[in-house]
Amino acid sequence: MEAGVIGKVCLAENLEFLRSLPAESVDLIYIDPPFNTGKVQQRTQIKTVRSAKGDRLGFQGRRYKSIVVGTKRFSDLFDDYLAFLEPRLIEAYRVLSAEGCLYFHVDYREVHYCKVLLDTIFGREAFLNEIIWAYDYGGRPKNRWPPKHDNILLYAKDPSHYVFNTEEIERIPYMAPGLVGPKKAARGKLPTDTWWHTIVPTNGREKTGYPTQKPLGILRRILQASSRPGSVVLDFFAGSGTTGAAALELGRRFILVDNNPEALAVMARRFDGEEGIEWVGFDPKPHQAEVRQRGLFSKKRVEKE
Ligand SMILES: C[S@@+](CC[C@H](N)C(=O)[O-])C[C@H]1O[C@@H](n2cnc3c(N)ncnc32)[C@H](O)[C@@H]1O
């Protein structure tokens, strides 16, 4: 990144963008890809029935003919998802610096398949953790255990040499502080691979309105542990820019990429007033304070923000 630039926010298709980055040019990657790539597939169901004129030959020379019983349209999300991810993860590996790590945030239904894919790209030995982010929000089905967690897979580019700043990680209270003595209790303990953290509070200041926004507390912990002040952090499924917000707080540099102009508009508001951010392919000004003050946005909305 050029001198003087703290963060870069790009409106771009991420595969193309990743291919334009030099090898080993970023120190940490966090991504939270969407599950639904939105491709609809069509499949035709066929039934076979006995028929002397049938085109299919079966057991003991019996003939069958095929009848189309229906066509089902469905989103073939699964196959599509891994095919979508693979070239992006290969690029992620290429652009990570020698000491860099990847945090891959994924849904509990897909995590196993993604782990296998990541093992083939990074190597099985490069897998460090499966972090469980546990929360307690939303409905509770009555026919199974209510699923209340996301998974974050952590890989190092080189498992024998990577950044992990144990001392920088914000410690958490002991569950039973009475059992560890006052000094230890006051210091708190290191979090494990199971992170209890609320979702983004619906009416809190942190809320940007972007539907898939992740909590700043989760990103703060990731950046504290796996990057250093001045490191370059990349999020190429940036959404509302939570990774950038954590980087700004902690003095890291960042590159955020999203192909949805609405995400860029949210980030323009979120980073309003921050110096040293370069916008690529998108003009943030119409979404920022100066324009709002000139009355182009409604007063009510400005107050709410
Ligand atoms: C689950 S959201 C990320 C939310 C983010 N972690 C946050 O805290 O706000 C995934 C984002 O990936 C973006 N995206 C999906 N496909 C993309 C692509 N091919 N290139 C760039 N961005 C993409 C979507 O527009 C969406 O904003």
SS in 3 state form for the chain? CCCCCCEEEEECCHHHHHHHCCCCCEEEEEECCCCCCCCEEEEEEEEEEECCCCCEECHHHCEEEEEEEEEEEEECHHHHHHHHHHHHHHHHHHHEEEEEEEEEEECCCCHHHHHHHHHHHHCHHHEEEEEEEECCCCCCCCCCCCCCEEEEEEEECCCCCCCCCHHHCCCECCCCHHHCCHHHHHHCECCCCEEECCCCCCCCCCCCCCCCCCCHHHHHHHHHHHCCCCCEEEECCCCCCHHHHHHHHHCCEEEEEECCHHHHHHHHHHCCCCCCEEEECCCCHHHCHHHHHCCCCCHHHHHHC
Among the ranges 36-45, 105-114, 233-242, 296-305, which has the highest mean pLDDT value? Answer: 233-242
Dist. CA 89 → ligand 1 center (Å): 14
- Within 6 A (CB) of ligand 1 lie 13-14, 32-34, 210, 212-214, 237, 239-240, 242, 257-260, 263
pLDDT exceeds cutoff 60 at 72: no
Looking at residue 303, its pLDDT comes to 41
Looking at residue 143, its pLDDT comes to 95
Q: Which of 9, 133, 200, 212 should be mutated for ligand 1, with most atoms under 8 A from CB?
A: 212
Residue found under tokens 């498992």: 159
pLDDT exceeds cutoff 70 at 78: no
Going by pLDDT thresholds of 50, 70 and 90, the confidence category of residue 56 is low
Going by pLDDT thresholds of 50, 70 and 90, the confidence category of residue 159 is very high
Going by pLDDT thresholds of 50, 70 and 90, the confidence category of residue 302 is very low
Looking at residue 77, its pLDDT comes to 55
Looking at residue 267, its pLDDT comes to 98
Dist. CA 60 → ligand 1 center (Å): 56
Looking at residue 50, its pLDDT comes to 77
Dist. CA 239 → ligand 1 center (Å): 5
What are 85-142's pLDDT values in tens digits? 999 999 999 999 999 999 999 999 899 999 999 999 999 999 999 999 999 988 899 9
Looking at residue 79, its pLDDT comes to 62
Average pLDDT score over the chain: 87
Looking at residue 61, its pLDDT comes to 74
Looking at residue 204, its pLDDT comes to 85
What are 39-49's pLDDT values in tens digits? 444 445 566 67
What is the arithmetic mean of pLDDT over 229-243? 97
pLDDT exceeds cutoff 50 at 296: no
Looking at residue 135, its pLDDT comes to 94
Looking at residue 290, its pLDDT comes to 62
Dist. CA 282 → ligand 1 center (Å): 16
Looking at residue 3, its pLDDT comes to 79
Going by pLDDT thresholds of 50, 70 and 90, the confidence category of residue 300 is very low
| Domains and their CATH numbers in the chain | 7-38+73-260 (3.40.50.150)
